[in-house]
Amino acid sequence: MASITVFIMLIRSVDEDEMSMAIGLAEFFNSILAWLPGPIVFGKLVDRVCMIWDSSCNSVGNCVLYSLPDFRYVFNGLICGFELSAVIFLTITLYFRICLDKRNAAKEPKVEVEVEMPIDYDD
């Protein structure tokens, strides 16, 4: 998902006094769960669609020929899977936030105040 969308969901989901902690934890988990393993996961999946490997001196080198249809399915499927999981987690977060708001609204007493304002039509 776009980082702006995730950031807006984040700041709307936490209280103001917990905002800096939430942003810090979100960036920490983003680094640990996305930036570090991302290239490793994509690299392993790209290597799986290799059809011909270059070899020299009895060691496996770089891939010479990829299966393009398999490459498209693996690459786009992985991206769609990650996007779907992000949407699911954001939906769960939004659901719990709405439930929390309803619970807090039910606990607060309703105060109604009537105010009469004099209106002067002569001006």
pLDDT for 19-53, tens place per residue? 999 989 988 988 888 888 888 988 898 899 999 98
Question: CB–CB of 45/27 below 8 Å?
Answer: no
Query: Which of 2-11, 15-24, 47-56 is the least confident region?
Result: 2-11
Tally helices (H) and strands (E) across the chain: 4, 2
Backbone angles phi, psi at 25, to 5 degrees: -65, -40
pLDDT band at residue 71 using 50, 70 and 90 as cut-offs: very high
State CA 29 to chain mean position distance.
11
| pLDDT of residue 111 exceeding 80 | no
pTM: 0.63
Amino acid letter for position 116 = E
Nearest to 46 by CA among 13, 70, 14: 70
Question: pLDDT exceeding 70 applies to what percent of the chain?
Answer: 97
Average pLDDT of the residues of the chain: 84
**56 against 123, higher pLDDT:** 56
Provide the H-helix boundaries in the chain. Answer: 3-13, 19-30, 37-48, 68-107
Residue 69 has pLDDT above 90, yes or no: yes
| 80 pLDDT above the threshold of 90 | yes
Per-residue tokens: 122: 């002569």
For residue 86, the one-letter residue type is A
Q: Tokens 């496996």 — which residue?
A: 60
